[in-house]
């Protein structure tokens, strides 16, 4: 009886051990599964953070690029405006210089006319001023705009000599010539008229009265 009793006890204990082992194994599998799921969640979260960071960096780059472009545009516009103002001021200064010198030149001409039989000594500074004024006066050019991409393509334009800035565009060559002549008369200058191919048609053109 004692042997059977202890054998039964041993079998029961062995069954409990196997049951405990099974529970431990199941628990270990559950832990492994949870660890795997947690690892996947962490991995997905890290990838999401990376994507958000990359998107944020890209947004910042685009905003900075747009800001720099706007700054460049504003700077170019200010430079163009400044150039236009300087050109206008230069024209005004040249016109004033002409108006100041012209009376002196007329007075000298009158002196020579009235005293043709006498020798009149003209001051050197007056002569030098007259020469300098005539040298600095720039001519006005009339030509057709050949830039196909320009808004005023094939229109006639008036420009000052050695300048790439157009003073004004006109539909006809005659209108452009009349305007250039008006500017030239005020500045004591002349007009250069260009043909359709760009070559000069008339040099030092002045309107006949």
Question: Tens digits of per-residue pLDDT, 167-187?
Answer: 999 999 999 999 999 999 998
What pLDDT shows up at residue 98? 59
3-state secondary structure 49-98: HHHHHHHHHHHHHHHHHHHHHHHHHHHHHHHHHHHHHHHHHHHHHHHHHH
Tell me the domain boundaries of the chain.
138-209
pTM of the predicted model, to two decimals? 0.37
| Residue 119: pLDDT over 60 | no
Structure tokens at 88: 């206008």
Q: Give the other-Cβ count within 10 Å of 186's Cβ.
A: 13
Q: What are phi and psi of 162, to 5 degrees?
A: 65, 20
Percent of the chain residues topping a pLDDT of 90: 22
| Residue 117: pLDDT over 60 | no
Percent of the chain residues topping a pLDDT of 70: 79
72-106 pLDDT, tens digit per residue, is 888 888 888 888 788 777 777 776 665 666 666 66
Q: Count Cβ atoms within 10 A of the Cβ of residue 143 and give its class: 0-12 exposed, 13-18 middle, 19 or more buried.
A: buried
32-58 pLDDT, tens digit per residue, is 888 888 888 888 888 988 888 888 888
What pLDDT shows up at residue 120? 47
Q: Give the other-Cβ count within 10 Å of 147's Cβ.
A: 9
| Residue 115: pLDDT over 90 | no
The DSSP element (H or E) to which 44 belongs, if any, is helix 2-114
């Amino acid at each position: 009886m004692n042997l059977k009793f202890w054998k039964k006890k041993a079998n029961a204990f062995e069954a409990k051990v196997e049951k405990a082992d099974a529970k431990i194994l199941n628990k270990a599998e559950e832990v492994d599964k949870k660890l795997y799921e947690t690892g996947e969640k962490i991995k997905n979260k890290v990838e999401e953070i990376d994507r958000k960071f990359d998107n944020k960096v890209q947004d910042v780059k685009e905003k900075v690029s747009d800001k720099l472009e706007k700054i460049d545009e504003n700077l170019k516009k200010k430079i163009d405006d400044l150039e236009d103002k300087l050109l206008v001021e230069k024209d005004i200064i040249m016109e004033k210089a002409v108006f100041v010198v012209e009376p002196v030149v007329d007075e000298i001409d009158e002196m020579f006319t009235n005293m043709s039989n006498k020798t009149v000594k003209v001051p050197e500074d007056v002569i030098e001023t007259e020469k300098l004024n005539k040298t600095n006066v720039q001519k006005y050019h009339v030509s057709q705009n050949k830039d196909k991409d320009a808004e005023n393509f094939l229109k006639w334009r008036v420009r000052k000599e050695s300048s790439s800035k157009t003073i004004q565009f006109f539909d006809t060559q005659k209108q452009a010539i009349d305007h250039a002549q008006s500017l030239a008369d005020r500045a004591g200058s002349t007009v250069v008229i260009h043909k359709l191919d760009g070559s000069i048609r008339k040099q030092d053109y002045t309107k006949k009265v």
